[in-house]
């Protein structure tokens, strides 16, 4: 008789990891079907199925599964949104994230389907629909970017920037690659004397103007369209803010920072906040996994910890500091540098 194996390790972790696909598909299906719009107050599965014009039995199964994922709760046979779904998955709410998630899902899925090919043959040709620099993609991306900024990211950036001693005396700020301008408005809200310029691609700047109008910042925040690698950015700024934008190779980053140095007033401050790779490029999860589609198709360059501090040094900035901050659960590196004083 041979002894049967006795093991200390079990594969529960693998099983959980494998079922990530189910929670992902389930949540995205419910968003697409607008299930959460019908669960503002406790509803029976039958009423939800009627409202969605869907099959009663399978609607009930979906609702039960959404409870298992923690998005919905069930009491005495009636279902309602939990806090998370209530805040972010009901259409029309200010922080509605359904479109942001749908867009991230759409960007991720073609890549996930063909992952083995990407590993075997490399980035290859990027299909038009997957090109993240196309104009259509940019517009959708900006709307999603606005949603996630409104859902908390902008305010958390602003909290970090407000802590910088030089910030309270700043009167003018350039938000480079500032997207829909939500971050700039959140920062301006913490400093009533600040005038901000949001610079981004023309189609994005057009969208930013709408957001700025909507939230009543038109007298203090303006949006300028252009290509920040090639077009003039203005001069004499007290500070420049760059968040989540400099995902380029060193040569391009240096070109941008040299331009920034020239358009800050002497002694002016540059603040950059970016997710960065650590632990031999295997962490954090939000960069290594979430950007895999972009990096494997050759559309993004993931920066390593210290990339911006080194670049600021190469481009002649003074007083360079680096700190790690956590923005909506994502560890990010915040770098500050000062343009050389005129003396």
Tell which residue, 315, 316, 314, 318, has the closest CA to residue 337: 318
Return d(Cα 240, Cα 336) in angstroms, integer: 10
Phi and psi (nearest 5°) for 192?
-65, -15
Query: Quick one: 265 or 301, whose CB is closer to another protein?
Result: 301
For the chain, counts of helices (H) and of strands (E): 15, 10
Applying CB under 8 A, which part among 115-123, 164-172, 222-230, 256-264 lies near another protein?
A: 115-123
Applying CB under 8 A, which part among 110-118, 240-248, 310-318, 335-343 lies near another protein?
A: 110-118
Check residue 282 for interaction with another protein (CB under 8 A): yes
Check residue 127 for interaction with another protein (CB under 8 A): no
Return d(Cα 257, Cα 152) in angstroms, integer: 28
Applying CB under 8 A, which part among 149-157, 228-236, 245-253, 310-318 lies near another protein?
A: 149-157
174-193 positions binding another protein, by CB under 8 A: 182, 185-186, 189
Check residue 300 for interaction with another protein (CB under 8 A): no
Query: Quick one: 120 or 128, whose CB is closer to another protein?
Result: 120
CA distances from 203 to 53, 76, 129, 137, 154 (A): 38, 50, 18, 11, 21
Return d(Cα 89, Cα 33) in angstroms, integer: 11
Nearest distance, CB of residue 193 and another protein, angstroms: 18
14-73 positions binding another protein, by CB under 8 A: 14-15, 17-29, 32-33, 52-55, 57-59, 61-62, 64-65, 67-70
Query: Quick one: 6 or 128, whose CB is closer to another protein?
Result: 6
The answer to whether residues 118 and 296 touch, using CB atoms and an 8 Å cutoff, is yes
Please pick, from the candidates 38, 118, 145, 259, the single residue that binds another protein as defined by CB under 8 A.
118
Nearest distance, CB of residue 292 and another protein, angstroms: 6
Distance of alpha carbon 235 from its chain centroid, rounded? 28
Please pick, from the candidates 232, 234, 236, 329, the single residue that binds another protein as defined by CB under 8 A.
329
Return d(Cα 341, Cα 316) in angstroms, integer: 11
Applying CB under 8 A, which part among 94-102, 126-134, 161-169, 228-236 lies near another protein?
A: 94-102
Query: Quick one: 280 or 343, whose CB is closer to another protein?
Result: 280
Return d(Cα 246, Cα 111) in angstroms, integer: 23
Check residue 129 for interaction with another protein (CB under 8 A): no
Peptide bond into 266 cis (omega under 30): no
Nearest distance, CB of residue 269 and another protein, angstroms: 24
Query: Quick one: 58 or 168, whose CB is closer to another protein?
Result: 58
Please pick, from the candidates 150, 194, 223, 315, the single residue that binds another protein as defined by CB under 8 A.
150
**In sequence order, what are the residues at sequence separation of 6 or more whose Cβ sits closer than 8 angstroms to the Cβ of residue 242?**
175, 176, 177, 260, 270, 271, 272, 273, 274
3-state helix, strand and coil shares in percent for the chain, rounded to the nearest 5: 45, 20, 35
Return d(Cα 38, Cα 71) in angstroms, integer: 13
Query: Quick one: 104 or 320, whose CB is closer to another protein?
Result: 104
Query: Quick one: 117 or 318, whose CB is closer to another protein?
Result: 117
Please pick, from the candidates 34, 42, 215, 301, the single residue that binds another protein as defined by CB under 8 A.
215
Return d(Cα 222, Cα 208) in angstroms, integer: 8
Nearest distance, CB of residue 240 and another protein, angstroms: 22
Indicate the burial class of 282 (C-beta count within 10 angstroms; 0-12, 13-18, 19 or more). exposed
Applying CB under 8 A, which part among 173-181, 227-235, 273-281, 303-311 lies near another protein?
A: 273-281
> Which residues, listed in sequence order, are joined to residue 275 by a DSSP beta bridge?
332
Nearest distance, CB of residue 326 and another protein, angstroms: 10
> Which residues, listed in sequence order, are joined to residue 239 by a DSSP beta bridge?
173, 269
């Amino acid at each position: 008789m041979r002894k049967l194996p006795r093991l200390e390790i079990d594969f529960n972790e693998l099983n959980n990891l494998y079922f990530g696909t189910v929670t992902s598909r389930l949540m995205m299906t419910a968003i697409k079907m607008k299930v959460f719009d019908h669960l503002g107050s406790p509803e029976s599965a039958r009423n939800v199925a009627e409202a969605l014009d869907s099959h009663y039995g399978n609607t009930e199964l979906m609702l039960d599964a959404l409870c298992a994922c923690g998005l919905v709760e069930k009491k005495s046979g009636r279902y309602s949104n939990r806090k998370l779904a209530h805040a972010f998955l009901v259409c029309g709410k200010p922080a509605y994230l359904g479109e942001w998630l749908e867009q991230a899902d759409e960007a991720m899925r073609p890549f996930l389907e063909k992952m083995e090919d990407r590993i075997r043959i490399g980035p290859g040709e990027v299909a038009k629909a997957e090109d993240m620099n196309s104009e259509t993609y940019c517009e959708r991306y900006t709307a999603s970017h606005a949603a996630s900024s409104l859902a908390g990211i902008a305010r958390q950036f602003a909290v970090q920037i407000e802590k910088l001693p030089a910030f309270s005396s700043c009167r003018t700020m350039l938000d480079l690659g500032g997207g829909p301008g939500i971050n700039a408005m959140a920062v301006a809200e913490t400093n009533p004397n600040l005038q901000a310029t949001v610079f981004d691609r023309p189609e994005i700047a057009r969208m930013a103007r709408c957001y700025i109008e909507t939230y009543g910042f038109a007298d203090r925040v303006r949006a300028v369209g252009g290509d920040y690698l090639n077009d003039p950015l203005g001069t004499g700024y007290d500070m420049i803010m760059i968040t989540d934008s400099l995902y380029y190779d060193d040569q391009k980053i240096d070109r941008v920072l040299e331009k920034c140095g020239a358009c800050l007033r002497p002694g002016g401050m540059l603040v950059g906040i970016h997710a960065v790779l650590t632990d031999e490029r295997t962490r954090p999860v939000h960069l290594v996994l979430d950007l895999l589609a972009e990096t494997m198709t050759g559309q993004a360059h993931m920066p390593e910890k210290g990339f911006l501090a080194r670049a600021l040094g190469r481009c002649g900035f003074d007083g360079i500091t680096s700190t790690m901050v956590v923005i909506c659960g994502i560890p990010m590196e915040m770098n500050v540098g000062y343009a050389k004083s005129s003396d």
